[in-house]
Each structure stands twice: as structure tokens, then as C-alpha cells.
Structure 1
Amino acid sequence: MAEPAAAATPRGFRLLGGDKSVHQVLGGGKAADVLLWKDKKISAAVIGGASVLWVLFEVVDYHFLTLISHVLIGVLAILFLWSKATIFIKKSPPDIPEVQISEDVAVNIALALCTDINQALHFLREIALGHGLMKFLGVIIALWILSEIGELSDFLNLFYVAILMLHTVPILYHKYQDKVDHFAGKAHVELSRQYSILDAKVLSKIPRGPAKDKKQN
């Protein structure tokens, strides 16, 4: 005979909500492909680059401005000497493309940032209005974890940990989505039950001021 708790677990519960896939939640673009390791070369390059920067700044104790200056000095010196050497060896100088950011690209970046910021503000507003117990608890837990990590490490370590998590958590959830959603569904049922008890015993008994009469037209 099945246990009563299992029967109460909602079927088809999705931690991300609706029928959206992890790829869609991450934006469905190139960034989502990188985070889900669909483009393994770029994903590995991001992890490798972040690891090199972390080693340089945290282990070797390099400074950011010093590193940027040394890199620019090296690149400019190599290109300058290469261009001068081509005069003596009678070869064409290096083909260095002229890089410019078009107005369309700048506008698209601004629109994308504006959309993401507005979505984040809307999400926070929904939580502030008391909509979505799981969203509220998820944000509170995430902020608490960030606060604890912030006490144990500096910004660079936090940034490096965030890069690693962004390249591991989504792919792990994508791989084990059914199992994670199953346990999340049980947790959702239990939290909803506890919230109902709290509301019945405490919240509903808190005295409230008299409701204001609506103005008659």
C-alpha cells in the first residue's frame, strides 16, 4: 500500500515552473549552450580562463591593473615589432581588423540588459507582494548562502565560485531533473502544509485595522 505522503506529492511538479526546459530558463541562446556544455570548447575555455585569473590574483597575488598593463604591453610590443620587421623582410604587415561596436549591437545589449533587469524587479515585486511561497523561500535561502560565503571569502573568490556553480548546477539539474523535481515536490507539499498551519494558528489571528470604505461615485 502506498504511503499517504507519497500520494500527496503533486505529480508533474517542476522546480522551474511550467513546462520550460533548463535551456529555456537560461535564456535559450548562446549563453545557455555554454552553461549546459552544449559547446564544450567554449565552456571549457570559460572555466579555464576563470581558473587562470583566480590563480593569478589569489595564488600569485597579481593585481588587476598590473596584469592588464603587462598584457597590453606584450601584445602591442609584438605587433609593433612584427609590423616593423615586415619592412625589412619585404612581406605584408599583419592584417589587424578594425574593431567597432555598431549602434545596433549597443542598442541590443542595452535592450537585453533592460529586459533582464525588469524581469528581476518584477520577480522581486511578486515576492514582496506575498506571491509564491517557494520563490520567497528560495530567494531567502540563496541570499543567506551568499551572505555566509561573503563572510568567508572576498569578491574574487565569490565570483570564481559563481562561475563554477553556473557551469555545474544547471547541467546537473538538467541531467537529474526528474529526481530533483520529485524531492522538490515533496518539500513543496510539506512547506505548504506547515504554512497553512502557521496561517491558521498565528497569521489569521493577528488583529488588522478596519477596512476602509470605498468611495461611492
Structure 2
Amino acid sequence: MEKISEKFNEGDSSSSDTDDEKKSSPSSLKAKVYRIFGREKPVHKVLGGGKPADVFLWRNKKISGGVLGVATAIWVLFELLEYNLLTLVCLGLILGLAGLFLWSNASTFIHKSRPHIPEVHIPEEPVLQFASALCSEINRAFGILRDIASGKDLKKFLCAIAGLWILSIVGSCCNFLTLFYIVFVLLHTVPVLYEKYEDKVDDFAEKAMIEIKKQYAVFDAKVLSKIPRGALKDKKKA
């Protein structure tokens, strides 16, 4: 009876092991799926979540279209029509003051009472939140640049130099406003397209990354490995 019970226990343990393997196998397969830039969170979480991510991913088409339309109108006014910021602000204030002045006098003449003009003020909390988020991102960028400049990783250094060089070329072709508008349009198009075709883009990115690593290995073997570094290492040891 003891031998029979041991056999049953062994059978139960083996079946539980197979069940555990079946349960763990989907998670292991999911862990092996390549995501671009090593992404582990959904696209919505990567963009920070909340209302800004909803706008960039077109969760509400009216709000996203309105934001993109306002940005396009600003770019057209300042870039194509060549308005200056001070001129546009002064013209807007002139039209606003003239309209309120005429409306107030007309209401006094018709209804014998002055209309109530609402007070306009900028809320303090959203401005402080935006300034805090901007400050943290700038400090984070400075930290990344400091880590790259410390000389720990040659690959990151070369990527940073190439990225800054490409950015300088783009900056010489267009001004800051046009560059900002292009980035704004890309933020409204690239994330939503990536979320829609996520698997195809990740598959293509995985193949491209493998090819880049092969080319970097060839470059390392032919160029970087031939750079003399023995003297520096001997000095450090001494």
C-alpha cells in the first residue's frame, strides 16, 4: 500500500510539474518577444499616461484634432504668413478690447446696465506641474549626457555624437519653430501608428538591430580594436 501511495504521489507531482510548465510557458514566450528600445510597458504608459498620452494616441479624436489644428494654425501664422509674436499678441488684444468696449457700451445703451465681464487668470497648479515636469526631464537629459561623457560606454558615446550631428544638420535646414512643429506632428502620428502595427514594427526592428550589431562588430574588429590603449591601462595600474 505504501508503494502504491508513493506511485500516486509521484504521478500527482509529475502532473503538477507539467501544469506549472504549461502555465509558465506562455509567460516565458511573452518575455522572449522583442520590443523596440527594450520596452516593457504599453505605449500609453511609455508616453506618461493620463491626458497627454490620450491626446497623442487619439483616444478622443476631437481633442487630438483640435490640438493639432491649433498647432498648425500657429505654425502657419508665424512661419508662412511671417507674423511676429509681439505683433500678433497686440492685434489680438486690440480686437479683444475693442469688442468688449463696444459690447459694454451697447449693453448700457440698450439695457441700461453694464454687462459683467468675467475675470481671466491663469491657474497656478498646471503651470507649476508643467514647470516641474520640464525641469525633471532637463535634469534627466543632463544626467544622461554626463554618463555618456564619463567614458564608460563607447557605443553610447558614438550614438550620441551621431544623433547630435544629425540634429545639427536638421537645425541648419529649418528654424526652431518648424522643427518644433515637425516633432509635434510626429508625436501625433508615430505613436498611434506604432500602437496599431506594433508586432510588425517590432519584428522589423529586431532584424534591423541584429544587422546593426553585426556591422558594429565588424567596425569594432577593424577599427576600434586597433586603437592603442595599452599605455593608458599601464598608467592606471601604476
TM-score normalised to structure 1 length: 0.77
- Pairing partner for 1:13 from 34, 44, 68: 34
Query: Of the two structures, which has the highest relative contact order with CA contacts closer than 8 Å and spacing of 6 or more?
Result: 1
After superposition, give the CA deviation of every residue in 1:111-145 in whole Å (9 maximum; x if it has no partner).
Answer: 222211122223333444454948964x5565444
Q: Which structure: greater helix fraction?
A: 2
Q: What amino acid is the match of 1:212?
A: K
Tell me whether 1:169 sits opposite 2:190 in the alignment: yes
> What does the per-residue CA deviation read over 1:6-37, in whole Å, with 9 as the maximum and x for residues that have no partner?
xxxx9522113231222222211322211111
TM-score normalised over the length of structure 2: 0.71
| Residue-by-residue CA offset, 1:47-69 (whole Å, 9 max, x unaligned) | 21122223223333333221111
Percent identity reads 49
- Residues 127 and 136 of structure 1 are in contact (CA less than 8 Å); yes or no, is this contact kept in structure 2? no
CA distance 1:145–1:174, shift in 2 (3 Å): farther
Ranges in structure 1 where 5+ consecutive residues have no aligned partner? 1-9
Rounded to whole Å, the distance in 1 between the matches of 2:144 and 2:45 is 17
**Corresponding position: 1:99 with 2:105:** no
Query: Is 2:232 the partner of 1:212?
Result: no
Structure 1 residue identity aligned to 2:85: F
Ranges of 4+ aligned residues in structure 1 off by more than 6 Å: none
Shift, 1:148, TM fit? 3.3
Matched, 1:185 2:206: yes
Deviation at residue 93 of structure 1 after TM alignment: 1.7
Choose the corresponding residue for 2:139, options 100, 112, 118: 118
If you compute each CA radius of gyration, which structure gives the higher value, 1 or 2? 2
Contact 1:82 1:94 in 2 (8 A): no
Comparing 47-56 and 140-149, the one that deviates more:
140-149
Structure 1 residues 92 and 73: CA distance shift in structure 2, 3 A: same
Aligned with residue 75 of structure 2, among 35, 44, 54: 54
Matched residue pairs, number? 203
- The verdict on how the C-alpha distance between 1:81 and 1:135 changes in structure 2, with shifts beyond 3 A counting, is farther
Moved more, 172-181 or 54-63: 54-63
